[in-house]
Structure 1
Amino acid sequence: MKDKQELEDFIEKSTEDSSHQTSALVLRAQASEILVEELQQSFSQAKRDVQEQMAVLMQARGQVSEELVRLQKDNDRLQGKHNLHVSFQQAEDFILPDTTEVLRELIVKYRENIIHVRTAADHMEEKLKAEKLFLKEQIQAEQCLKRS
């Protein structure tokens, strides 16, 4: 009888231990499932954020590309005008003025033209420097976001 009682007590204790362990494992499994779900939500949000950033970067890249094409066309146009003016000057028969007064007027006119051209060139140079800086910053921002 004593052995039977000991065996029943042992079985009851083992059953309780197993029940507690099972309950603990179920709780841990539920907690793990909650963590996995939270991680999936965080990952999905991070993925959406990255996709939005990529869309913004692609749009900015397109704008930079368009601006580069525009600047190249402007440069080509300006070089074409320069070459055209050079060819016109070479084709012209340049006749020196007969009097010093006419020569003086011609010099004043040329000086005014030079001042105008230099002013326009300075303005264009500043504009191109600003655009160059803008493009560099865009590229750096794009590279920085790619690294992140």
Structure 2
Amino acid sequence: MKILTSFLIVFASSAAADHELDARDLNKGRELYVESCAACHGPDLRGQPDWKIPNDEGILPAPPHDRTGHTWHHDNALLFDYTKFGGSGTLALRGINDFKSGMPAFKNTLSDDDIWTILAYIKSTWPEREQQVQASRNPPH
């Protein structure tokens, strides 16, 4: 019985981690996005003009989160970390310390649940193809 209980606990934990974007309130996600993200990424998720060209300090403008950007190229964990710890903070956690990013850390202003809800909203706006490609970048469940 102990082995079965341990298996169920591990299985339940990993299953929950694989479904971090499922069953989210997309209306709340949209509201949180407008409050916390739209100032830079735009209310329509189109990002800032010339987002692929660094400014004089070497920082790229905020990219779009729609299908024209690269958000859907990344797995859920990276998107979460990038939001929570900011661009430079996330890359520093991965041993990259010379990257300049304008993306601030939201760890002190958004809960983990709010971050996942925002990401679910963003993903919900992508066409089916982009959603499938992005989903394929996440660990299987």
TM bucket, shorter chain: under 0.3
TM-score by length of 1: 0.26
Q: Which has the higher contact order (CA 8 A, sep 6+)?
A: 1
Structure whose residues are more often helix by fraction: 1
In our comparison, the structure showing a higher alpha carbon Rg is 1
